[in-house]
Structure 1
């Protein structure tokens, strides 16, 4: 006999919610070491940025002073050309009336041609230095810019009143001040600190790890009843790795090597700063002596040229004597310009060091 059983459908539902939190209470000071190492790394990046910015500023100042120096050389060369042109006009007129031989005319024409060549070379050097500066500061080198500095005359005048290099202090004192102010030295110091924290972090794996955990859970067949059935749990866990295949020991050895390398890098930085400081002092002292010597030579060359011109005008001197005196004066003027700006550049270099 067959019976018909009516079909039925039954739905069941279950809702649950879980929240779990875990906090490491102690991990052998590894967390603190990693945090301090990250701070040292951040300080390294900041110090590298500061040093890079200082070097860029010095490069711009150096290029800028070179532009002003070459501009002064153009002016000196141009003034010399104008003087020789005027002298050529006078010699030409005197030769026309028979007062001077043709040799003097040819000799002065040759001098003017040489002056024109020198002016072209000076202008080319100036234009290239200007292009280098414009490229360095990030502007279009094809645009026309006028480079001026109203304060440069005062800086050049102040050179004579600058104290001697010996008055800046002893080498040990200057080196100590350099260590305190140089960002690259701070960078190397922070690298050593970061390596020390790395060793602490590596050793932390030999210590047990202690953590606290808590959880909340709730379950119900109906969503509206979900929050009524609550369960809270609070626990404490301790884990300790007894053997990890010498991985921790290898990491400690690697961290020690890293620290040693950073210490060697710090020592190298100290030596580098010391030699840079020594060279900067030597260059600054030499630049000051060269400046003083060129100023004396300029005074002598100016007087020699004046005497040679007077003798030539009176007929007791030759054109060759005047041309030699004029060449010596031009050389003294160019040397004085070079040494003046070179002294300012060496001052900037000393400040950078």
Structure 2
């Protein structure tokens, strides 16, 4: 099944609003409604509503503000100091003044002219924002895979319900034939009993399949931001579409496009900047400052001429010896750098493994589709022959039930092969880093040419309305309303009564 990930924010929001309105998402109490949903709808809803993505957006916002703070720390700083005091005791007697109280005001405008620590902090913050941008893209790819997987789980569960329903219908028809022959006196009672047991087992399997379907629906609802009790009507079918690409091409693509590898690359850059920042403590700093001071007997009065002054000057600081505290900090930063480098290498190795595994699974499932499809036709023919032989009195009931089991197994294997193929294709897309909103390769190219995050985003974004930061005015989507105190109390009483009845029965 082709996975369509492109689109714009307007489409996602429209989809989200339409589905939310259809189920009364923000109404209380929430009631279960039926919502028609395609794979594309599921992915769009997940990208628009998933809380993990919103957390990653908040991480980008925080990294952006951290960079903003680091950039601003290199600019001028204006401070105001105010003091108020009263002097008494023998000092007052020895140095009499006409002032009972003294108030001083001092304004200082300062700016760092040379401070390598600030430069390293700015570089570290820039790389931190780059890593956050790419981590957001990786999160979106992961959520796309999760939504796709959960959607395919629904399709597979629906197919399994259909297989089990066909098995129940087949065995029920066979039981009717056995009963007819038993009434005619041509078969023994044992055939009836065996057929009834086989039908009961099939009905139990059908019940389990329906439960698996309900769980799959609830799981997808959680991922795409719908109430868990929403009933979904899927519009896609599990099918086979040829995907002709060599493993080497998939691997090369993944090594270039995987967003988590790019994020790990900038985490290394960030750690390198942290080493620079720690080493900067061994270098001198140079600052310029201008001050203006006044004092008087009132809070803001300039009545003491000996305190009325201004200064303009430079100051340099060089920490010559700090008992090797800076050396320890440099070693700590280098250790963290090694950790980041190992993480980058591990990420690249994991990319190769992820792509290799998904590709092999895809090819294995592809081969199984052909063999299992043939097996279904053969099993159907075998079952029909077994039924004809039994009804003609030349076959046994055991042969019919064995043929029925084989037919159910063949249908299950075919549905599973289609499921595995589509799941492997989605996993391969994720392993290769097929982008959602941001082209990681283009992003890295722009940053490596000395540009900033804004320019990299503009060059790498795949559509105009991609969400790369939390929209202004965005609010946290409310969760499903909690029960009222009365509803909770009633539920608690019912749970206690049910548990007591269960324990009483178990004790007998």
> Which bin holds the TM-score, normalised by the shorter protein?
0.7 to 0.9
**SS of 1:245's equivalent?**
coil
Where does residue 167 of structure 2 map in the other structure? Answer: 80
Aligned partners of 2:200, 2:105: CA distance in 1, in Å? 97
- In structure 2, C-alpha distance between the alignment counterparts of 1:34 and 1:186, rounded to whole Å: 21
Residue 182 of structure 1 is matched in structure 2 by 258
The answer (yes or no) to whether the contact 1:36–1:197 under 8 Å persists in 2 is: yes
Distance in 2 of aligned mates of 1:25 and 1:146: 65
Quick check: 1:15–1:226 contact (8 Å CA) kept in 2? no
The equivalent of 1:208 in structure 2 is: 284
Task: Give the Cα–Cα distance (whole angstroms) in 2 for the partners of residues 12 and 323 of structure 1.
Answer: 111
Aligned to 2:231, the other structure's residue is in SS state: coil
What's the counterpart of residue 26 of structure 1? Answer: 114
Does structure 2 conserve the Cα–Cα contact (< 8 Å) formed by 1:68 and 1:148?
Answer: no
Question: What's the offset of the Cα at 1:131?
Answer: 4.6
**Aligned to 1:168, which of 237, 245, 255?**
245
Residue equivalent to 1:96: 183
Aligned-pair CA distance for 1:348: 1.5
Q: What residue ranges of structure 1 are gaps of 5+ in the alignment?
A: 1-9
Alignment of 1:212-291 (within 5 A): 212-217=288-293, 232-291=310-369
Which sections of structure 2, spanning at least 5 residues, go unmatched? Answer: 1-97, 432-508
Separation of aligned partners in 1, 2:221 and 2:414: 26
Deviations 1:22-76 (A, max 9, x none): 111102x221111111222333344444434433442343233223312221222
Other structure's SS at 2:233 match: coil
Which residue does 1:348 correspond to in 2?
426
Deviations 1:202-254 (A, max 9, x none): 22223221111112345689999959x98553212222223222233232222
Task: Return the structure number with greater helix share.
Answer: 1
Deviation at 1:322, TM superposition (A): 2.8
Q: Which residue of 1 aligns with 2:405?
A: 327
1:150 paired with 2:235, answer: yes
Is the Cα contact below 8 Å between 1:68 and 1:147 reproduced in 2? no
**CA offsets per residue over residues 249-304 of structure 1, 9 Å max, x none?**
23222222222221112112222222222211122222222222211211211222
In 2, Cα distance between equivalents of 1:185 and 1:340? 31
CA 1:226–1:324: 2 relative to 1, 3 Å: same
Whether the 8 Å CA contact 1:77–1:118 is kept in 2: the answer is yes
Distance in 1 between the 2:413 and 2:219 partners? 22
**Counterpart of 1:305 in 2: which secondary structure?**
helix
RMSD: 3.2
> Which secondary structure state, in structure 2, belongs to the residue aligned with residue 242 of structure 1?
coil
Distance 1:225 1:276, change over 3 A: closer
Distance verdict in 2 for CA 1:17–1:101, change over 3 Å: closer
Q: Give the aligned length.
A: 332
C-alpha displacement of 1:197: 0.8
TM-score (norm 2): 0.58
CA distance in 1, matches of 2:162, 2:125: 56
Query: Does the 8 A contact of 2:288 with 2:314 survive in 1?
Result: yes
SS of the equivalent of 2:322 reads coil
**TM, length-normalised to structure 1:** 0.81
